[in-house]
Amino acid sequence: MRLTLRRRVTLSFGLGLLVVTSVLAFATWNLATGYLLRQREASATRQAELNARLAGPSPSAAALGDLMAGPDSAIVVLTASGPVTAGRAVDPGLLPAALVEQPPGIARTIVDGVPMLAVARPLAGGAVYVELSGLQQLDRTFALLAAMLVLGTIGSALLGAALGSWASKRALRPLAELSSAAGRIAGGDLRARLPAQDDPDLAALAAKFNSTAQALEQRALRDARFASDVSHELRSPLTTMVNAGAVLRRRREHLPGTAGTALELLTSEVDRFARMVVDLLEISRADQTDDPPPEEIALDALVRNVVATREPVPLDLEPAVVPGDRRRLDRVLTNLLDNADRHAGGAVLVRVRACGDRVRLTVEDAGPGVPEDLREQIFERFARGVMAGSRGDDTGSGLGLALVREHVRRLGGQVWVEDRLPVGARFVVEMVLRSSDG
């Protein structure tokens, strides 16, 4: 799986600082431990040379005890008559052979599990003076230094990752704003713009995006204005045609045969044309006008009022108040009921239910349903062919459900269609619940 750009930048910063601090830590370790060890060896060598001169060629154990440098140190003098020791018990056989056989010299050794530094110096008469001093303190210093370097390396890597995350977030913020603005435009908010940028490189991008969005908004407004103007111009002749068709339909019995059939076709097409013009006017008005301030609407009461003007439909309503525009909500429900009448023989249930902080308005029918692959297309403009092919003959404009989605979007909600068991479709409108009663 490919990592996101932000994660790649974060990883790059973290790994970069990890490598740099690891190199620095390794160099620091080598320099510091080498220096401390050399200082310790030089100190032990000077002490052993001084003590060897003070001990003489045939020292006693008591005399050697006076030369001890600490509780963990030991002195071994190898003479022809045997070893003389003082301090920590040390088996002369455990001393490094090369150090004893070829003094002077210095070497690290382990005595009873304790690290020690052995310094050998020759004495008169062939004796060898060996002084051992403990290295526990130096090893503890090395361990502390190693822990600090490891923790520092890990901390620097984490700091680098945090710095990379902060830097990438700051660097990608303009892209996030661009993505957000583009998403709002794609969702229908043509007024979305990028904020002004201080960075010269980003200012040109923001200006270009804003000018493009402005041009798109102007074009959409021109198209909506054109559709509105055309629709307004068509209303007068259409009203005359509808009224004339109604008169002719009342005299249908005087036009038998082919003439009567032609009259029915003509009047039905005129009615559909009139509905399309009304829908186009609604769409153009929705595209051109700003939404009024939202008001609190009793959704259950609105449903009762709309259904009361139509054929009776079973209701299952919970009291619910939503913020919105009464005209848009009225049109949403009307269009859904018209859609059920036209394609499914009418609605069989209208329900209002609160779901947490949301409220759902559902319109159910017992028709053929909507295939899953067409459930998004039916909300597109002029989707009449889709509806006719999936749910029976169509006499609509293909704009009703598109208006439903547009109104619901303006109300801050969402709409979808799902299966109703055992048969039929359920159109669901979900909106924010302002409050509930009962």
pLDDT higher than 80, residue 225: no
Average per-residue pLDDT for the chain: 81
Lookup: tokens for 39: 């200082």
Tokens for 299? Answer: 């959704």
pLDDT band at 202 (very low <50, low <70, confident <90, very high): confident
Give the count of beta carbons closer than 10 Å to the beta carbon of residue 52.
Answer: 26
Are the beta carbons of 414 and 432 closer than 8 angstroms? no
**CA dihedral sign of residues 102, 106, 108, 112:** positive
pLDDT at 436: 43
Q: Is the pLDDT of residue 117 over 90?
A: no
The pair phi, psi for residue 298, each rounded to 5°, is -80, 105
Residue 254 has pLDDT above 80, yes or no: no
Task: Please give the Cα distance from 76 to 150 (Å, whole number).
Answer: 39
Question: Please, which pLDDT band fits residue 329 given cuts at 50, 70 and 90?
Answer: very high
Q: Which of 40, 49, 75 is nearest to 60 (CA)?
A: 75
Report the chain's terminal Cα–Cα distance, integer Å.
51
**Which of residues 315 and 58 earns the better pLDDT score?**
315
Q: Is the pLDDT of residue 351 over 80?
A: yes
Q: Which CATH architecture has domain 200-287?
A: Orthogonal Bundle (1.10)
Range 292-432 has CATH code 3.40.50.620: no
pLDDT digits 0-9 by tens, 151-162? 999 998 898 888
Decide: 393 and 323 in contact? Cβ < 8 Å: no
Q: In the chain, what are the domain boundaries?
A: 5-145, 200-287, 292-432
CATH of domain 5-145: 3.30.450
Would you state the pLDDT for residue 216? 82
Tokens 């293909």 belong to 398
Q: Retrieve residue 104's tokens.
A: 């002077």
pLDDT of residue 353: 93
The pLDDT score that the predictor gives to residue 381 is 77
Q: Given this model, what pLDDT does residue 177 score?
A: 77
Task: Look at residue 394 in the predicted model and tell me its pLDDT.
Answer: 52
At 299, is the pLDDT very low, low, confident or very high (cuts 50, 70, 90)?
very high
Q: Which of 39-53, 239-253, 327-341 has the highest mean pLDDT?
A: 327-341
Contact 425, 364 (CB under 8 A): yes
* pLDDT for the residue 69: 61
Say what the pLDDT of residue 307 is.
94
The pLDDT > 90 percentage for the chain reads 21
The percent of residues in the chain predicted with pLDDT above 70, rounded, is 85
Q: What's the pLDDT score for residue 437?
A: 45
Q: Biggest alpha carbon distance in the chain?
A: 153
Is the pLDDT at 388 greater than 50? The verdict is no
Cα gap 107→101, rounded to integer Å: 13
Listing DSSP states for 166-225 in one string gives HHHHHHHHHHHHHHHHHHHHHTT-TT--PPP-SSHHHHHHHHHHHHHHHHHHHHHHHHHH
Q: What was the pLDDT predicted at 95?
A: 78
pLDDT higher than 60, residue 287: no
Query: Distances from the Cα of 377 to the Cαs of 72, 370, 371, 427, in angstroms?
Result: 89, 10, 10, 14
Q: Which of 9-23, 69-83, 190-204, 391-405 has the lowest mean pLDDT?
A: 391-405
> Residue 395 corresponds to which tokens in the numbers above?
């006499």
Give the helix ranges, DSSP H, for 289-383.
299-308, 326-344
DSSP string, 43-86: HHHHHHHHHHHHH-SS--HHHHHTT--STT-EEEEEETTEEEEE
Nearest CA to 89 out of 67, 106, 111 is that of 111
pLDDT band at 350 (very low <50, low <70, confident <90, very high): very high
pLDDT at site 300: 93
Whether residue 247 is predicted with pLDDT greater than 50 in this model: the reply is yes
Residue 44 pLDDT > 80: yes
Q: What is the DSSP letter of 399?
A: -
Q: What is the mean pLDDT of residues 341-347?
A: 89
State the DSSP string of 226-247.
Answer: HHHHHHHHHHHHHHHHHHHHHH
Question: What's the rounded Cα separation, in Å, for the pair 322 and 357?
Answer: 10
Distance between CA 189 and CA 347 in Å, rounded?
A: 33
Tokens 């002004």 map to which residue? 196
Q: Please report the pLDDT score of residue 231 as a whole number.
A: 63
**Placement of tokens 């041009």 in the chain:** 215
